[in-house]
């Protein structure tokens, strides 16, 4: 059977556009099949992605552990120069596209690796960390995560950390943050603030979803909201392309096509993560849906289905190019030093 007109147009758009995913959490999961990590990257490249931002460490990593993890990750990609290019600037993504390689960026899911030493921000930036979220689900030295019992917002240290991130060109990320911490971070930052991976509360109410006023505030800062493909954040384990596209469209209808993108948060071994989540009830509370054995998620290969659905909704080529990667590429160009 030949492709439909929309399918052919979707293929052409993917081939001719920069395609970015701002969150691929390839962190080690106890009991996971480690072979799936490399396979996930290869799947992303085969599906048409040009850039992925890989999680290197989370909030419970101290500086020594963070440096160890960065060193390990850098070695992994440097040992595979025929497949990957480590990104320092947005121009490196363009270079990777020209030579048919996958561009790789790094980020921290949490500010724990900084400790209280602001000098580490510039060091981490030089080692490849290009965005860092303020708090991961729980309270830390900077602020509160979205699953904390209370949210008293950004700390004094958090204000200083944001100023240093702005200075060195590291993107300020409010994924996984509580409401007050998110909004106060946006107010404090002198540079655009992003949600690397979150969802839309108007589509499905969940602590990992963002209210309309938060989305507007991110957009007003010049930032981008990346949407995950995780079913428990999109609905009752709803990882359908239809709901994902509804979420994209909701953001576009509010703030235009310049402030939304992909942050799939694709888990390379979901059963292992579910099992691990059951041992971490404070970080992954049961009521958040983290422990359901049938947890669903969008697969990287479904990017073409998303593009085709946007075409069917009447989105033009320019808007689609922004959504699938142009917005992320633009903010990288503007903010990274």
Under the banding of pLDDT at 50, 70 and 90, the label for residue 125 is very high
Under the banding of pLDDT at 50, 70 and 90, the label for residue 299 is very high
Question: How confident is the model over 25-40, as pLDDT tens digits?
Answer: 999 999 999 899 999 9
3-state secondary structure the chain: CCCCHHHHHHHHHHHHCCCEEEEECCCCCCCCCCHHHHHHHHHHHHHCCCEEEEEEEECCCCHHHHHHHHHHHHHHHHCCCCCEEECCCHHHHHHHHHCCCEEEEEEEECCHHHCCCCHHHHHHHHCCEEEEECCCCCCCCCCCECCCCCCCCCCHHHHHHHHHHHHHCCEEECCCECHHHHHHHHHHCCCCEEEEEEEECCCCCCCCEECHHHHHHHHHCCCCEEECCEHHHHCCCCCCHHHHHHHHHHHHHHHCCCCEEECCCCCCCHHHHHHHHCCCCCCCCHHHCCCCCCCCECCHHHHHHHHHHHHHCCCCHHHHHHHHHHHHHHHHHHHCC
List the CATH code of the domain at 5-335.
3.20.20.140
Give residue limits of the domains in the chain.
5-335
* 104 pLDDT above the threshold of 90: yes
pTM across the whole model = 0.97
């Amino acid at each position: 059977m030949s492709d439909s007109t929309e399918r052919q147009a979707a293929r052409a758009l993917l081939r001719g556009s920069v395609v970015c995913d701002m969150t691929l959490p390839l962190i080690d999961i106890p009991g996971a099949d480690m072979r799936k990590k490399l396979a996930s990257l290869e799947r992303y490249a085969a599906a048409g992605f040009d850039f992925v931002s890989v999680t290197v460490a989370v909030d419970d990593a101290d500086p020594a552990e963070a440096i160890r993890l960065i060193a390990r990750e850098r070695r992994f990609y440097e040992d595979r120069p025929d497949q990957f290019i480590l990104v320092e600037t947005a121009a490196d993504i363009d270079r990777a596209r020209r030579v048919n390689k996958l561009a790789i960026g790094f980020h921290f899911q949490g500010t724990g690796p900084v400790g209280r030493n602001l000098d580490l921000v510039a060091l981490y930036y030089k080692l490849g960390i290009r965005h860092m979220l303020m708090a991961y689900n729980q309270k830390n030295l900077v602020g509160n995560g979205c699953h904390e019992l209370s949210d008293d917002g950004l700390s004094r240290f958090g204000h200083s950390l944001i100023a240093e991130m702005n200075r060195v060109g590291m993107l300020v990320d409010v994924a996984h943050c509580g409401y007050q911490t998110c909004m106060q971070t946006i107010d404090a930052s002198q540079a655009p603030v992003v949600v690397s991976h979150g969802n839309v509360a108007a589509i499905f109410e969940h602590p990992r979803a963002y209210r309309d006023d938060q989305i507007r505030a991110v957009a007003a800062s010049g930032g981008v909201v990346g949407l995950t493909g995780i079913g428990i954040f999109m609905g009752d384990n709803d990882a359908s392309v239809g709901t994902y596209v509804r979420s994209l469209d909701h953001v576009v209808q509010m703030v235009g096509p310049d402030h939304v993108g992909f942050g799939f948060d694709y888990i390379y071994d979901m059963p292992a993560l579910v099992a691990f989540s059951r041992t971490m009830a404070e970080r992954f509370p049961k009521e958040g849906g983290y422990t359901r054995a049938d947890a669903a998620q969008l697969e990287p290969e479904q990017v073409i289905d998303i593009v085709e659905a946007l075409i069917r909704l009447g989105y033009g080529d320019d808007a689609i190019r922004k959504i699938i990667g142009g917005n992320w590429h633009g903010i990288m160009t503007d903010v990274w030093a």
